[in-house]
Chain A
Amino acid sequence: MSELQVPVLPQNSSVHPSAPRAPEPRGGRLPLWFKGFAPLILLAALVVLFLEVGPVGVFRQSFPPVEELTIERIRLPAYGVMEVQIVNGGPEAVTVAQVMVDDANWVHQVNGSRIIERLERRTITIPYPWVEGEPHAVSLVTRTGLTFTGEVAVATLSPSVDTRYLTTFALLGVYAGVIPVFIGLLWLPFVRAIGRRWIDFFLSLTIGLLVFLGADALVEALETSRLVAGAFQGASLVLLGVVGTPLVLAALGRWRGTRQERTPLQVAGLIALGIGLHNLGEGLAIGASYATGEIALGTFLVIGFLLHNTTEGLGIVTPLADQRPRLRSLVLLGALAGVPTVIGAWLGGFTYSPLWTTLFFSIGVGAIIAVVYELYRLFSRRASAGLTTPLNTAGLLLGMMIMYATGLLVPA
């Protein structure tokens, strides 16, 4: 291809005798920036004109406006008080006229105008005697009589930012993320002692674990994306994270000038990063569920996360089987994978937002895709037979089955 074009290029330049830097006659004398921006300027002028003249013809609405309100969160900051956080993700301004709690009209205060413009947020405070441990439903009635309902699954006092809750959520993150990852890292002496065939087996197993984690994160991302207010396009956010992250990671690898294959330590680092991003999303979800009373921090849950996430540590150390990593590197890898759970739990517990949760989960999916790709390349360098030898296929499937089995212990 390039060989064919080489002789053509000088011919082309000889057809135009002017120097390569001089402006081409056909392009006129307009500056380059103008050529670049002219369509945008025209577009802006049209938008201004449209806004000035107002909708005409088919754009004039003869139908009622489509209203959309998203209840992002209902907090119970004190006994007898509800706080409803809402965002207008619809195409038009929405007016909140009345509020009903459990099918009863209730007095309330809105922190600002009742007319909520597109993408604006409001917090509605309701003096409602909610009942500990019971579900409640809050409905917002708009000017046109449409209702938007949010539910409190189990009413319990929402955490406020104080040391006790910071400690609680930190512990939650440590138990669910940090400890299991570090325990998993302790498999390093084991994977270094086993034979080459069995290292391949455990690498396949790691790929299996990661594929399962990626699928799990994708499902979570798509689920929370449905809670994102319409204007913020939850599904597109998922696409952005899933496709964008591996591209960015690949470009970053190139940018650092390493054209050659990644070192095993780099692959382990990527795995830790991918798992860390997944755990950030997981932490957000755990924190939010705990704060809104949807899950209780029972022994069962903690044990479930311990088992489920310990395998993640195994995944990180397997590529290092024939390396001699320093202790500091191992600690860093563990922290990269595990600590995001704590951060996620903090963020999720105090300021849960479906938008950020969706974004973090989909970035996690993208990172895992990148990691699986790297592992696969590492794998094909090591074993010419690839993943389809009976032992390696068994490892792959076992990896997924371990995740499935330990996942049974974690409530969805």
Chain B
Amino acid sequence: MARKRDLVDQSMTRRNLLKAGALGTVGAAAAGTVLALPGLGQSPGNQAGQASHHDMMTVGHLSPGSFDPNAFLTHFDAGLVSELPSGQVLREYEFIAEDREIEVAPGVFYPAWTYNGQVPGPTIRCTEGDRIRVRFINRGSHSHSIHFHGMHPSNMDGAFEPVNPGRSFVYEFNAEPFGLHLYHCHTVPIKRHIHKGLYGAFIVDPKAGRPPAREMVMVMNGFDTNFDNENEVYAVNTVAFHYQKYPIRIRQGELVRIYVVNVTEFDLLNSFHIHGNLFRLYRTGTDLTRYEWTDVVALCQGERAVLEFTYNHPGPFMFHAHQSEFAELGWSGVFLVEAPHV
């Protein structure tokens, strides 16, 4: 019996080694270099009370072909752009709701409901006054809708017109006011429709634009993988600890702008904190004057903020929720500030 089990274990190990090898290659290629700091990968066997941030971490890599948080971070969807006879800019989008299993931590799969197969859904980016036309097709197993934050007519609100499976609906409205908004499904039970993944960021730029910067979108979310109405996984952009394993590279002295949206379900608040620096806070992004200069901002579900900062010191700096529990369950990342090349 023991011998037989050994044989099974060996074959499993070999298969896993092959798989792990393949995953490792893909992971590294997709995300660039893994942060190499002292202590990483030599965890077991350390002394009591000497655990480092590299011990508080998920193990393994995402499967090949999984949603890539690094790509999502800087991808803004301008839509199909044309001009209406009136001269107004028209941006057309197609959103398809579909059920899909997504990987929320390496090896942990969650039966999500998605817009266009990804969680969060695509980041819509437009300018104040543009005409937005979103053709929504429901290929999921339940009724869904898209409810946009912002100003629009009642029948474009997505709250009272659930779209049944196999049906479609066209949302059309003018993008106003400028600021950082969001969209999400508003079909009941809303709690489940949101925490299963139907949400995304909706950025309306002011007509004059904002100062040039390295821009990123971070949607604070969580996943209740065992459906006990508590999140097991917390993250920005879905995958636990992703930006800690694959730090976000920024340059010393450059202006960084982050569009932060909180959609975390079940918890009253989520927050954003950066190390070694403070950010200028523009709540909801609807005003161009700074609201506060701080290093922590707390947002309830649906709240969002535009953050701007510049690092003057090179090196790795953490950013994370300042609810330690969320940080330790995946909502942690690292900015790797690189000195300019001489």
Contact = CB atoms under 8 A, between A and B. Distances in A.
Given A80-B48, A103-B328, A129-B49, A98 B107 contact: yes
A146 interface: yes
Interface residues of B, number: 40
Contacts, number: 110
Interface stretch (B9-17, B121-129, B135-143, B179-187): B9-17
A114 B49 CA distance: 27
Contacts of A99: 59
Interface string B239-254: 0110000000000000
Contacts of B107: 95, 97-98, 114, 143
A141 B44 contact: no
Interface string A340-382: 0000000000000000000000000000000000000000000
B54 interface: yes
A80 B46 contact: yes
A144 B337 CA distance: 36
Interface in B1-39: 5, 8-9, 12-13, 16
Contacts of B50: 80, 129
A145 B8 CA distance: 25
Nearest to B60: A97
B116 interface: no
B141 to A, nearest CB: 13
B331 to A, nearest CB: 11
A109 B44 contact: yes
Interface in A94-108: 95, 97-100, 103-108
B55 A145 contact: no
A147 interface: yes
11 contacts: A79-B48, A80-B48, A95-B107, A104-B328, A107-B55, A113-B12, A117-B8, A129-B48, A141-B232, A143-B107, A145-B233
Contacts of A97: 60, 105-108
A141 B58 CA distance: 11
Contacts of A129: 48-51
A80 B49 contact: yes
A98 B58 contact: yes
B232 A127 contact: no
Nearest to A117: B8
Nearest to A116: B12
Interface of B: 5, 8-9, 12-13, 16, 43-51, 54-60, 104-110, 223, 225-226, 232-233, 240-241, 325, 328-330
Contacts of B44: 81, 107-109, 125-127
Contact of A103 (B5, B60, B325): B325
Chain A interface SS verdict (over half): loop
- For chain A, give the interface size range: 35 or more
Nearest to B241: A105
Nearest to A119: B5
Nearest to B223: A145
Nearest to B12: A113
Interface in A21-47: none
B18 to A, nearest CB: 12
Interface string A214-239: 00000000000000000000000000
Contacts of B240: 105
A105 B105 contact: yes
Given A79-B47, A79-B48, A107-B44, A98 B105 contact: yes
Interface string A52-88: 0000000000000000000000000011110000000
A233 B160 CA distance: 51
Given A98-B106, A103-B325, A145 B48 contact: no
Given A95-B107, A145-B109, A100 B43 contact: no
A112 B13 contact: yes
A10 B241 CA distance: 86
Nearest to A110: B59
A374 to B, nearest CB: 38
Contacts of A143: 107-109
A115 interface: yes
